[in-house]
Structure 1
């Protein structure tokens, strides 16, 4: 994919809307470094993902001090998944945690899930291995054997 760095920087800045600005650098091998100048902007971008550019998902990684960006294995992406058709009595933290674990590595449930307002789906934050296919359905069951059907 041929990428114009200035175009990428402008498009991503308009999507991410960093308070303190950002810079994009091509580091080779279809890898790009995004530099943010305020920690709040970094958290906003990581928590707001996944992000895409030219219909390609951007796999993000916050680098530790001294970490080589050219050697880090980029195989997972954090994202919000939406689980539909969960019966009301099954919208419980432990069940939603299990749903998240069936998709990837569970991170958290959207705090708005438990605000008492009915929604057609719940959002669960997970880390997904991009080298594996996504699961599309799962059967859920409450403790005691009550089945909730497929989601």
Structure 2
């Protein structure tokens, strides 16, 4: 993305940062509870929060689900090397990877692989099927490197503010 395409982010004041910290901690807070927590009136808090949503600073609010409760206990990091390093091959791979619900996150990276994907499946046989039917069929895949997660040391995803 060149500089002309990059969004211009608003300056975040101390109230904005407190709101962001509180919502990362608990996205289910009511506006009244959020206002109390960050030291604003309910009206001012709503205005700050609405602006943060409208400007794309807050992309969304969702539940963190226990993977074992929904039979997605096995986490796998998958490194993918493409056969070509062109904008078109990157775009085609990215579009296809976004369409796979098992792929929770996908990053274009610099280094020995082109992409890393975080994948969640039920178990090893499910990953074997996913690998052979979906991953190797993604556009431009030349090589796949698989890393099975043995222990999730930190997986809360909160950004430091």
TM-score range, shorter chain: 0.3 to 0.5
Q: Which has the higher contact order (CA 8 A, sep 6+)?
A: 2
Larger Cα-atom Rg: 2
TM-score under structure 1 length normalisation:
0.33
**Which of the two has greater strand per residue?**
1
TM-score under structure 2 length normalisation:
0.31
